[in-house]
Amino acid sequence: MTANPIQRAERQESEAEAESQLKPMHAEAAEVEAEVNGAVEATEAAEAAEAATDELIGIFYVENRRRKQNIKIVVKLCPEGVYLRRETAQNDHINEQLIRIDDIIGSSCGQRLKKRARGGLTSCKSTRNQQQEQHQHPEAEGTAAAGEQQGKEADNSAYLYIYAYLKKEKPLRRVQTLRILRFRTSDDYAENLATARLWHRTIREHKQRTGAAGQVARAAGKKLLILLNPKSGSGKGRELFQKQVAPLLREAEVQYDLQITTHPNYAQEFVRARKDLMERYSGIVVASGDGLFYEVLNGLMGRMDWRRACRELPLGIIPCGSGNGLAKSIAHHCNEPYEPKPILHATLICVAGRATPMDVVRVELTHRDRHYVMYSFLSIGWGLIADIDIESERLRSIGAQRFTLWAIRRLITLRCYRGKLYYLPAKSSTEQPAAAPAAAPATAPAAALSTTETPQEQANSQADPQPAAFSEFKDLPDDEDVQLRGDNQSDLDQFADALSLDRSIYRQNADSWHSAVSRRTAYYSIGGHSSRSNRSRLNVSQRIEAANAEFNQLVPVSKIPGLQMPLSAADGWLHEEGEFVMVHAAYTTHLASDCYFAPESRLNDGLIYLVIIRAGVGRSQLLNFLLGMHNGTHLPMEQDPHIQVMPVRAFRIEPSGSHGILTIDGERVDYGPIQAEVFPGLINVMTTTGQ
């Protein structure tokens, strides 16, 4: 092992006072309680506290009451973690243990905890035992109380609590571990506390050096924003958070703000409207199911500064709801355990402080004469699985068995849907946007729809009675209506943010902000007073155009035609028309915690896995398909005429009828033509591995 020069905080060996050996404790936890005794000068402690220590070493003792001897423990804190080396008196048997710095979630120091800590302080006497002893020996009650008070006053030790969750293989699990170090180098509690704080601070610094951006942001004073749906988890969302999540956040020393959702789309409105989101928070954690995460995602994309928000605010999820496909997919990506304690394991991922890019799929759909855009992270369904998911809601009272019962019914009365399916295979890398035909179809509206919509356009549809997750194109004021007036600062402030206006063909007026030939995509205000000279006006115009050009490069420009534009086979698009039992697109490995739908999917592979089941498939084959989704064996290994899976970058579904079910991330949307395109790595999600 390579290590920096050793700077010891204590060099004197000491007696130990501990009531347990170095062994696993209750709830798979372990405890080492050791005390440091000796003489360390106050000046040396102060110098050690001021020095930037990479490595600390302490010699501790653990009392073995059965053998009536002390076991020597050498504890070394270094950037790799905490080494514990146990030596026997014969010096022929040595046990070593490394607690990796990544497995340590936090530490605390101070006086001894009076109550049983998470992971167990077995040396603490329980109240029940005390009451029994006092009942059996009432004459000793006063003496015991006096002795306890005297011992409390005589204990000048400082305690360091190290909280860790060790990762174990076969089976994959996290073992809760607690290490307690007792420092008693002086009769002065302040000096002992200074030594304990040095170790505590060094642990925190080592964790920050591991490259965890979240740890650095929290060290800068930023908090986590936690959005909790109290109705999740069969209405026990608040209780689950208080019992399982909050204690872990305390151990990790994570400061957070908790927001309780009160109505649908609350999270989306809160995230979109909060102005100090990036300045105040280091990330956003959703304590609910996939539905609340969908709201947060679309709320971020509805902000004027959505690019910065997606870059600086990683998103995490704690599975307190019923649909937990994303939480399971993230655990699968990180090779982290999920069962039997999904809330605990997901919380450990959220406090790790690392983030990994994740794909986002931009979805366009039309219903009657309306055009909507939303952003998806999980799946899009048409046909069998969507029917089972939505129609079984009437049996929600029986729990997860509702899916099995409704799947049997749907197999008996199998449905087929006629329509057209277009998809762009992943092997066909179309770098240039698909060219529109020279003449628009006769059925196309006079004002063609844009191929790319920005969050600002979504904000214009908030007053619409449709769901807030949708956005509708609306007319915007002409360019000539906007003037830069340096003599009125309030007029300038209203253009403080960029207006994301992509190259659109929504309006045919050449002077419109949405003009197809306009080069402007964003408008900025220029502070200060404006001169009336032509030279000054030219300078302002050049600065605006430069800002617009820079902004235009950052906007994720769509590479496919709009939903109402035709798709050309010359650009790599494939097309089939007929009857389908199901078309389901997934971009995460799991659709639910027990549905391993796309085994080859990755968080940031830039692919959509399109599963197509055509009419004519046998019911027995379809039954095997549904049963195999639990372990990922449902997809055919060889070429199959009825069931096919293919990686694509975009697809379009055009149903022929007007009755059916379409779902996006498990939520039902209006039935009609729908188109999806993947944007690789658009957001960051909290993981333990990082990029």
Provide the pLDDT for residue 213: 63
C-alpha span between 27 and 81 (Å, rounded): 23
Count other C-beta atoms under 10 Å from residue 113's C-beta. Answer: 14
Find out whether the peptide bond into 171 is cis, omega within 30 degrees of 0. Answer: yes
Q: Using an 8 Å Cβ cutoff, are 383 and 662 in contact? A: no
Name the residue with tokens 């899009």: 380
Phi, psi dihedral angles at 451 (to 5 degrees):
-85, -15
Q: Using an 8 Å Cβ cutoff, are 416 and 579 in contact? A: yes
- The CATH class of the 51-111+156-213 domain is mainly beta
Provide the pLDDT for residue 154: 67
Tokens encoding 625 = 């398909």
- What Rg, from alpha-carbon coordinates, does the chain have? 31
Nearest Cα residue to 612 out of 570, 649, 645: 645
Residue 303: what residue type?
R
Provide the pLDDT for residue 41: 37
- Average pLDDT over all residues of the chain: 75
The SS3 call for residue 502 is coil
Provide the pLDDT for residue 537: 54
Residue 476: what residue type?
L
Q: Using an 8 Å Cβ cutoff, are 160 and 58 in contact? A: no
Residues sharing a CB contact under 8 Å with residue 131, sequence separation 6 or more, in sequence order: none
Q: Using an 8 Å Cβ cutoff, are 55 and 3 in contact? A: yes
Tokens encoding 650 = 């975009």
**What letter would DSSP give residue 645?**
E
Nearest Cα residue to 385 out of 526, 184, 600, 595: 595
Tokens encoding 624 = 């095997």
Provide the pLDDT for residue 37: 38
- The CATH class of the 379-427+561-686 domain is mainly beta
pTM flag (> 0.75): no
Sign of CA dihedral 538, 539, 542, 547: negative
Nearest Cα residue to 178 out of 101, 120, 127: 120
Find out whether the peptide bond into 337 is cis, omega within 30 degrees of 0. Answer: no
Task: Tell me yes or no: is domain 223-353 CATH 3.30.70.330.
Answer: no
Provide the pLDDT for residue 35: 40
Name the burial class of residue 416, with classes exposed (0-12), middle (13-18) and buried (19+) by CB atoms within 10 angstroms of its CB.
middle
C-alpha span between 663 and 384 (Å, rounded): 11
Q: Where are the domains of the chain?
A: 51-111+156-213, 223-353, 379-427+561-686
**What letter would DSSP give residue 631?**
T
Provide the pLDDT for residue 135: 47
Which mean pLDDT values do the consecutive 10-residue runs of the chain (691 residues) have? 36 34 36 37 41 77 74 90 80 78 93 60 34 44 44 76 93 93 90 94 89 66 93 83 94 94 94 93 94 94 90 94 88 94 95 94 88 93 94 80 88 94 78 35 35 43 41 39 40 37 36 38 38 53 67 65 91 95 96 93 96 95 94 92 95 93 93 95 92 64
- The crossing angle, in degrees rounded to 10, of helices 266-273 and 290-301 is 30
Q: Using an 8 Å Cβ cutoff, are 345 and 688 in contact? A: no
Q: Using an 8 Å Cβ cutoff, are 109 and 255 in contact? A: no
Which residues form the catalytic set? 290
Name the residue with tokens 């896995």: 609
